[in-house]
Amino acid sequence: MEKSTMRQQVLLDHLKPETGRRAVANVVSSICSANDSAPYARTTDFLDDVVIVAAYRTAICRAKRGGFKDTYPDDLLAPVLRAVVEKTGVSPAEIGDIVIGSVLAPGAQRANECRMAAFFAGFPETVPVRTVNRQCSSGLQAVADVAAAIKAGFYDIGIGGGLESMTVNPMAWEGSVNPRVEADQRAQDCLLPMGITSENVAERYGVGRRQQDEAAVKSHAKAAAARASGRFKDEIIPVQTKIVNPKTGDEKKVVISEDDGIRPGTSLADLSKLKTVFKKSGTTTAGNSSQVSDGAAAVLLMKRRTALEKNLPVLGVFRSFAAVGVDPSVMGIGPAVAIPAAVKAAGLELSDIDLFEINEAFASQFTYCAQELGLDEEKVNVNGGAMALGHPLGATGARCTATLLHEMKKRGKDCRFGIVSMCIGSGMGAAAVFEQGGAIDPLSNARAVGQNNLLSRDAK
């Protein structure tokens, strides 16, 4: 025991800065910039980073009118589940868990549909499946849950994703409402129609009709440009399905590979003619709100060590996740609170973030959040958002993750950190920070380290 104590003391003496003793000429003290001393709060070994090696989505189509109106939800999910393993060469049997975010379908039914989708995609019965529901953030929550499970050592490889068919499962309240809500205003506000919360945000924070319509015009213009230039091709998995003629019942086989809610010619003049939907004297219209949509997405995660062993390129690194609560009556402000929380958890500053994917549930809340955080418009929803693309509730978080990571890859090493964020019904917000896979190495810091106290973050 005494010898062990002496050895520890010798080691500590070597770590102390030189004072009285003359330093060896060729030994220079410097700040270690690897692993858990990194200024973005890395607390694990570089090889233990949780990374994304594949992220794909279906096209997003208008509910009841679009390309997936006659597609079963499980047939919507299966193609993206198949894609993340086929395109990486990962054996389906290696997947430790599949977690799918979904909102509107009855829980037990959707859980079975997701299990069925896994079988349709070629996964063996040994691979478990579960669903998660945190409303509009469910797809992102699924990705975060898988990342946490891998980090905890529950399994080495997992899939997080999302699924929503708003054609099959429209938004509705089932059963009676607990009369106790009359005594609790916050509980009452959980029942507010989402459009009313949009009106509340617009009124409380001074977001006018013109601002909202301008945001919608920009969303459609950017999405149209991205689609026309093939910007989405790397992230979209074509889906073979059918379209049924409602009048004749005739079926036509089709392949859906493009988002069908984008309106390239959208103008302020057109949007200004639309009537408000939720409040006669309000500002929220169908044109400056997200579209009701069908879609699915899947993200394949594993430890960096596993990716290297399999010789798989890293698309992105999962750095942090935060879910927060806000006033239910203005639930749309969630990203303005969640984004700073996620950035702080990653050990970063808002100025470090190069790209933002913020769900455009409503133009009112999207505009408020971007302005409240002082975000550079050139960094936010560069390929459009939910007002143009659509918002399949449970899939949106995973869809945004795929869109963000593929865009970051296209932009190269100058685009290092990105954020996915959204508001959540009943008054919450969620956000996750990702680092571009090609932008880092074991010795790369986000910024210069100001001082070195010779202790790792874990030692504090």
Query: Which positions are annotated as active-site residues?
Result: 136, 391, 423
- Tally Cβ neighbours within 10 Å of residue 46: 18
Could you give the 3-state DSSP secondary structure of residue 420? Answer: strand
Could you give the 3-state DSSP secondary structure of residue 258? Answer: coil
Parallel, antiparallel or unpaired: strands 157-165 and 97-101? parallel
Q: At 392, phi and psi to the nearest 5?
A: -75, 100
- Tally Cβ neighbours within 10 Å of residue 70: 16
Could you give the 3-state DSSP secondary structure of residue 162? Answer: strand
Q: At 364, phi and psi to the nearest 5?
A: -60, -50
Could you give the 3-state DSSP secondary structure of residue 431? Answer: strand
The answer to whether 167 and 294 have CB atoms below 8 angstroms apart is yes
The answer to whether 252 and 242 have CB atoms below 8 angstroms apart is yes
Q: Which residues contact 330 (CB under 8 A, 6 or more apart)?
A: 197, 200, 201, 204, 205, 365, 427
Closest CA to 305 of 39, 46, 98, 70: 46
DSSP assignment string, 6-72: HHHHHHHHHHSPPSSSPPPTT-------SGGGSTTT--S-GGG-EEEEEEEE---EETTTSTTTT--
